[in-house]
Amino acid sequence: MSNFLDYREMNQTNNNLRMSTVRWLGRHLAIDLDLGALTVSEYNLIMKTLRAVARKGNTKEPDIPVRLVDGREAADILDISYSQFRALESEGVLRIPRKMLGKKTVRYRITDINNFILSDDATGKGNDSDEIDRFLG
């Protein structure tokens, strides 16, 4: 009998990454690390990610660390000027939730900015895309 699973057995197994597969990949990636094809930080990141997927199962979204940025950094991420960012936000066109720190300090979560970039509003499929275009151009 073959060492490989037949089609029926493959359909009955789960689609999760096994820890034994992660270890196997780690051994093979270590060769690339020794040859200089990977840096130590790349190797560590790959292995950390593979272990997390094996433990938690396949996740829909990568883990993005929650980081707060100010309006200027948010504008840089969106590739617009700070004045355009403020104008779009004051008009209610830019729908990125604010995080208040104290009474005056405003920050934005990187994850909220990423969600906005991936949303229909930012890609031109939403209702506010004409208003965004009016401000930007």
Per-residue pLDDT of the chain (137 residues; tens, 9 = 90+): 445 544 444 444 556 788 899 999 999 999 998 999 989 988 988 998 888 888 877 655 555 567 899 999 999 999 999 999 999 999 988 889 998 998 999 999 988 888 888 876 555 555 455 555 555 55
pTM: 0.46
Interhelix angle 129-136/82-90, nearest 10 degrees? 140
| Cβ partners under 8 Å of residue 10, min gap 6 | none
Listed by start position, the domains of the chain span 7-56, 68-136
